[in-house]
Structure 1
Amino acid sequence: MTTGTTIGTTEPFRLRHEVKHQLSPQEDLVLASRLRKLFPRDGHAGPDGSYRVTSLYFDTPYDTALREKLDGVNRREKFRLRYYGERPDFLKLEKKFKVNGLCGKRSAHLTLEEAERLLSGEDAFLLERGEPLLSELYHKLHGTLLRPRTVVCYDREAFLYAPGNVRVTLDRNLRTCGDSAGFLSPGLFPLKPLDALTVLEVKYDAFLPDLVRLAVQTPDRRAGACSKYALCRRFD
């Protein structure tokens, strides 16, 4: 169920359920057609119903975020920079965390200039802004040597359902360049770790309505941990 907790801060946060599955192209075709008939799309979608998501994940020299994910550590976190669409006009620093199987997220806005400064190693502004999440990143950059590691890019089709605060997403065409290069100058990311598979994510608060639970069912669906970050790290 949804609950409040604290991670690296005294501020309480709402935690949500998050379930991930991998879909074959055939399963994607069937499921997408069904979802389009039942639920409204995210309002940020483009004319084709989807939008691009580009993220730059941070990790330590010891690959702490990657190893904790692969090992299924019960309480873990990862930092990323993210923007939507073709241009990095609006960026967010996000800290995603998991506690007892539930997920939460904190975020803060960064300008393009601030992102460029951060990626060039100029990080004093993180403290100057006085925001808890930015201060936390500053201390982890210096304390754990957290650094930009891998770009993760994909095309997302998202659906919403108000009861249960449900969000269903289909993430397609996962791609990367194998490192942090090109994050703010998006171009062609030639490496594709999923080989035409789609990642289905279902996020909800305290309960998953039966309508959604039935709508996302597909035969022989592959369930389990499916981290796009971990998949893209294969190309290191």
Structure 2
Amino acid sequence: MNWWRKIQKYQKYFNRFELKYQISLQERDNLLSFIRPFMRLDPYVQNNYNYEVRSLYYDSNFRHSVNEKRDGIGVRRKLRIRYYPDYSRDNREFVFIEIKKKINENVAKSRIHVKLEDALYILDSNHPIANAFYNNASTQDRNTLKEIWFLYKKYNLKPVCVVSYMRQPFLSKIEKTFRLTFDTNVMVRNYNFDLNFGDSSKYIIPRNICIMEVKFNNFIPNWAIKIIQKNNCIQYKISKFASGLERTKDYALV
């Protein structure tokens, strides 16, 4: 199955729980040895190891999204464009424009799938490309796009940083909605917001550290709980976006 057929089967709406842990690369390797009987690599991984993720984050001049995170606001929303540079269709690049909503540990995502070259135009509801996309979109995509436009206009959102990392994702062989992901080389830049440009200037976390994310809909399987406890993993709340802006010292423009 090629990438385009796979991408068509991507979920456009998620509602799940996500727990994050910071672990060393050695601890990651230890965990991998324990989870392999229960989990398999995500089939979207084409090189049998990992794939790159690049996300362009938006915020207001007052850093509305960052301040909500720091102030511990229970319900938060942020806008980003997510790009998987390892995949393309007919030599054309595609991205997801996403709204990520977080209520404590619960995460909901709504997203639309668009050509990279059109993404910035689609954010502007007055642009002809945006109107053409809307007119040809499904009801679900139209509703997501309306919410994107609302946030974009309400907070006068601007691109503020690109966060990139390498992700190694695993799926449970039994519990189909249980996932583990391991993110390394987590980097940020607050210049050159072209997602085709791969280099980033600063590491958000040390190179020998990995962010493990535990993702599930209703429960964590008992075998996974035992493995996490056996390896003394401690939950650590971290936002790649907020931590990235802190690394660039780019808090607010006004």
TM-score range relative to shorter protein: 0.7 to 0.9
State how far apart, in whole Å, the 2-side matches of 1:164 and 1:115 are.
31
Separation (CA, whole Å) in 2 of partners of 1:99 and 1:226: 15
Aligned to 2:237: 225
Instruction: Quote the Cα distance in structure 1 between the aligned partners of 2:17 and 2:217.
Output: 6
Aligned residue type for 1:43: P
Secondary structure in 2 aligned to 1:85? coil
Distance 1:14 1:156 in 2: 19
Residue 150 in structure 1 maps to residue 156 in structure 2: no
In structure 2, the CA distance between the partners of 1:87 and 1:233, relative to structure 1 (3 Å rule), is: farther
Match of 1:207 among 219, 232, 238: 219
Instruction: State how many pairs are aligned.
Output: 222
- Residues 65-74 or 102-111, more deviating: 65-74
| Superposed structure 1 runs of 4+ greater than 6 Å apart | none
Change (3 A) 1:118 1:26: same
Q: Which residue of 2 aligns with 1:75?
A: 75
Q: What letter matches 1:212 in structure 2? A: A
Q: CA deviation at 1:62?
A: 1.4
Report the TM-score, using the length of structure 1 for normalisation: 0.84
- Mapped to 1, the partners of 2:230 and 2:22 lie a distance apart of 11
Q: In the aligned structure 2, how far is the partner of 1:218 from the partner of 1:193?
A: 27
What displacement does 1:220 show? 4.6
- TM-score norm. by structure 2 comes to 0.78
Measure how far apart 1:209 and its partner are. Answer: 0.8
Instruction: Give yes or no for the alignment of 1:184 onto 2:195.
Output: yes
Query: Which residue pairs with 1:24 in the alignment?
Result: 24
Structure 1: state its 5+ residue gaps.
1-12
Structural mapping, 1:156-195, within 5 Å: 156-161=167-172, 162-163=174-175, 165-179=177-191, 181-195=192-206
Deviation at 1:70, TM superposition (A): 2.2
3-state SS of paired residue (1:31): helix
Deviation, structure 1 residue 172: 0.6
Partner amino acid, structure 1, of 2:236: G
Give 2:103's aligned amino acid. Answer: V
Given that 2:80 and 2:97 are in contact with CA atoms closer than 8 Å, whether structure 1 keeps it comes out as yes
CA distance in 2, matches of 1:93, 1:205: 22
The superposition leaves residues 89-117 of structure 1 with CA deviations (integer Å, 9 ceiling, x where unpaired) of: 12001111112531111110111221253
- Give the drift of 1:39: 0.7
Which residue does 1:90 correspond to in 2?
94
The answer to whether the 8 A contact 2:189-2:202 is kept is yes
Shift of 1:185: 2.1
Deviations 1:109-140 (A, max 9, x none): 11122125358x78624355331222222232
The letter of the residue matching 1:99 is I
- Which residue in the other structure is 1:62 paired with? 62
Change in Cα spacing, 1:185 to 1:123, as seen in structure 2 (3 Å) is farther
2:114 aligns with: 110
Q: Secondary structure at the match of 1:49?
A: coil
Cα deviation for residue 200 of structure 1 reads 0.5
- Pairwise CA distance, 1:48: 4.2
Question: 1:163 deviation in Å?
Answer: 1.8
Q: Which runs of 5+ in 2 are unaligned?
A: 1-12, 135-141
